[in-house]
Structure 1
């Protein structure tokens, strides 16, 4: 099967680059341990496949080879690992078919597992079902409500659900588009009629203006701080009305690593809690590459909330990510197990 109109290169130059980079490993006079076929969007390729990653990979015997989307995947390779982040039903069918016919190849990650994170309701259900008590803290999800249609009914539905203001409004579907990352803060429920369903409404939790991004790469995790929305007082809530957009907090520009923060706010979540959370979610989600947006409740320092989970996030922003990723590729290529079964001990990379 070939991939047709659903996916296309941004321009002819990108097509040429992909064609030129598709090199048959057997034609190279280099003994590579692992050949990684990758299918990434131009944006993801630029941010992730940086020279420092490719250089370290070569030193470890890892070769990255671009998958030509205009040709049948079965005619390419051979690969030890297939790494992909391409959206669309047609691509998912291709990669699932390839996975069935080539069980010896590690596909990172299975399309059916990725699809689980494309809906903000289903992505957090696995967190809600976790038993994370007694592990240096408790992890849950904010109280939330899904609105699939009829924005005029939102005020009544919010009242019936007993949600407390303010509310964070997020698109229900996560498809990688800029729109799917548009976030709004609603100070009163009547203003929510201005937003278009389908969407998710989450209770806002005061968390000191700092968010912890927990990056998972196989059995390794790395935690960084990001600035987030400041606490909202009852006085402010009583005076402000309306719905306001707020920027994404995942960009490197919003890093809080070097900020002069209150120690109580800046302190990273306990290691045992992070290890257990990452391990449990990796198993439940069936994914190797994702990150967790985690906040600590200001009023209860032992209470943490997962507010989002993202597949194959911007690892290129993390110092030292190339070491974690190349180790992961070597591990996954040698494992006979598949997603969620490789290794039980986590390496924790803390970013201070």
Structure 2
């Protein structure tokens, strides 16, 4: 099977060790199909050791063999690209409904386009007593557009400078996460379509990363770009590449910050947002990048959604290290999936 990117095959499968059993009396077998980099960052010894103690065994999917001939699996965890793999896992889902696939390829693909990923947030219209959640005004520039026409398109759409430029397609590569800030309309011609242009919202230089693992929500703070004043905007021109604000050095959880900026979004608002997006996206594993509009207490914007984020997003640190209590959260989540299926069997 040909896939995009380096893959983890059955040859590096960990030796299966007996663990404690779940309340159903069965061990939980999780088949994984991950790139080698993702496997290295995700399946850390501390994590797999805890999983074994809870009765969970991770087994590598052998991509050289037909998937239906392997297993049996309770859960399949995957993050591979390529149309052939997507067809394989989708066919498997249809013929093995008893196996939980994390997550459906079509649902994951939905987050590979920055236009479609945020449309679900727009459709939610989340505005209640706990706050308001929306997205920044944005404009999609397709590949067919001549870069020289971008300033005209921006003016026609009534977009306000500065603008954040993001690649339209999110394919897991570092390039798809390269962001730029355009200060003047003339420099927009230097950008390369296809892309999404978002109005920059002053947010006090702080970003909230909201991790969703099943029904569990964890929030961490990260430093982001500082506010841009009208005076600065009038003096600066050009397009500037974003610094990587999500690396380890950008952690803001232990920093001495203005409480008006650092206060987490209201929990009821996050629970409603996560619940609605889980339903609309059809996903169990994703994270939301959210900002609070500077000078407000309850006006928030979702600026990105990532599926099962990994090492490309944060070089130098693994995803689980970004999320508090990651190992326990994820193992409990895996157990909850199999326990809910077991309870259904008992009632049928």
TM-score by length of 1: 0.89
Deviations along 1:256-285, whole A, 9 cap, x unmatched? 111111111111111111111111111110
Query: Structure 1 CA distance, aligned partners of 2:47 and 2:186?
Result: 49
Query: Any residues of structure 2 matched to 1:170-185 within 5 Å, and which?
Result: 170-185=166-181
Alignment correspondent of 1:95: 89
- Residue 140 of structure 1 deviates from its aligned partner by 0.1
In structure 1, list runs of 5 or more residues that go unmatched. Answer: 338-352
For the residue of structure 2 that corresponds to 1:55, the secondary structure is helix
Alignment correspondent of 1:161: 157
1:145 corresponds to which of 132, 135, 139: 139
1:19 matched to 2:11? The reply is: yes
Alignment correspondent of 1:50: 44
Query: Any residues of structure 2 matched to 1:236-251 within 5 Å, and which?
Result: 236-251=232-247
Q: Which runs of 4+ in 1 moved over 4 A?
A: 27-32
- Residue 33 of structure 1 deviates from its aligned partner by 2.0
CA contact (8 A) 1:22 1:68 kept: no
1:117 matched to 2:114? The reply is: no
1:46–1:20 Cα change, 3 Å: closer
1:68 corresponds to which of 62, 65, 68: 62
Query: Structure 2 CA distance, aligned partners of 1:278 and 1:30?
Result: 32
Query: Any residues of structure 2 matched to 1:185-224 within 5 Å, and which?
Result: 185-224=181-220
2:221 corresponds to which of 225, 233, 236: 225
Equivalent pairs, count: 327
Deviations along 1:146-195, whole A, 9 cap, x unmatched? 00031111000000000000000000000001110000000011101111
CA contact (8 A) 1:132 1:139 kept: yes
More deviation in 291-300 or 251-260?
Answer: 251-260
Query: Structure 2 CA distance, aligned partners of 1:164 and 1:7?
Result: 38
CA contact (8 A) 1:39 1:85 kept: yes
- Residue 8 of structure 1 deviates from its aligned partner by 5.8
Query: Structure 2 CA distance, aligned partners of 1:135 and 1:129?
Result: 18
Deviations along 1:284-307, whole A, 9 cap, x unmatched? 100000000000000322110000
Query: Structure 2 CA distance, aligned partners of 1:113 and 1:297?
Result: 29
CA contact (8 A) 2:19 2:55 kept: no
Alignment correspondent of 2:316: none
2:280 corresponds to which of 266, 284, 294: 284
- Residue 7 of structure 1 deviates from its aligned partner by 4.1
Aligned-residue Cα RMSD (Å) equals 1.8
CA contact (8 A) 1:169 1:200 kept: yes
In structure 2, list runs of 5 or more residues that go unmatched. Answer: 311-318, 343-348
Query: Structure 2 CA distance, aligned partners of 1:232 and 1:29?
Result: 54
CA contact (8 A) 1:37 1:65 kept: yes
TM-score by length of 2: 0.90
Deviations along 1:3-39, whole A, 9 cap, x unmatched? x2324647xxx65xx414166x6x9697552100001
Query: Structure 1 CA distance, aligned partners of 2:103 and 2:120?
Result: 18
